[in-house]
Amino acid sequence: MRNALQKSLDEKWCIRFLANHPDGDAYDGVVIHLAKSFVVVREFRDFVADGILVFPKKSVASIRNGDFEVCENQILRRSGEIKSVKRIAWLKNIDTTKDLLSALSKRKIWPAIEELKDGESALFVGPITAIEKKSFTIYCYDAAGNWKDAYDIDYGSVFRIEFNSKYLNYFNDYMSASKESLKRDAAKTRRAS
């Protein structure tokens, strides 16, 4: 597997990641950073570049790099989509999930975190609000656009992290605006009292 990951990184070669997930998830992408404990991938969906995925190495069951991927890479090169694959400079010295989440928090990037615990998965989207030694806290919203609770998640239960996808960028922008609107409404209410 290490050779396939390195080839993807060195040659901007799209490969399929088969995940250790109860649903048997698979993802297509090009490796943009290899760390001690995780791999960072520029995801491709329907031959179009989308967001950034981060997989702890234990989340990757296997890599597929066969005839389908050869064809996919030829299409990505012909369409020019492969040119969107660039390394992210601030990832260079990040090797742990804790460091990555801390960097996302400092950059005010709201990720999606998929937790896999006891064979069950849960998805959390929103800002990281605290970084601790063994866990972190994320303040979440749901798919209906409602702010929920803050959740503490152990680093060891993280299955996948996603950021800068079109879905997240649009939804996060909407939720950030609604959060600011809630703050303004609360301030008006306090002033009126």
Task: List, for residues 110-123, the tens digit of each pLDDT value.
Answer: 999 999 988 899 99
CATH of segment(s) 96-193? 2.30.30.100
CATH number 2.30.30.100 is the correct assignment for the domain at 1-93: yes
pLDDT of residue 119: 84
* pTM of the entire predicted model: 0.90
**What pLDDT does residue 23 have?**
86
Instruction: Look up residue 158 and give its two tokens.
Output: 């993280």
Contact 182, 72 (CB under 8 A): no
> Residue 189 has what pLDDT?
54
In the prediction, which pLDDT does 187 show? 59
DSSP secondary structure, the chain, as one string: -HHHHHHHHHHT--EEEEESSTT--EEEEEEEEE-SSEEEEEEEETTEEEEEEEEEGGGEEEEE-SHHHHHHHHHHHHHTGGGG----GGGTT--SHHHHHHHHHHTT---EEEEEETTEEEEEES-EEEE-SSEEEEEEE-TTS-EEEEEEEEGGGEEEEEES-HHHHHHHHHHHHHHHHHHHHHHHHHHH-
**Alpha-carbon span 147 to 114, nearest angstrom:** 17
Q: If you compute the radius of gyration of the chain from its CA atoms, what whole number of angstroms results? A: 18
**Could you state, in order of their start, the residue ranges of all structural domains in the chain?**
1-93, 96-193
- How much is the pLDDT for 188? 60
Give the chain's residues under pLDDT 70. Answer: 179-193
pLDDT for 24 equals 85
Asked, colleague to colleague, whether 1-93 and 96-193 share their fold, the answer is yes
| Distance, CA of 140 to CA of 171 (rounded, Å) | 12
pLDDT at 186: 55
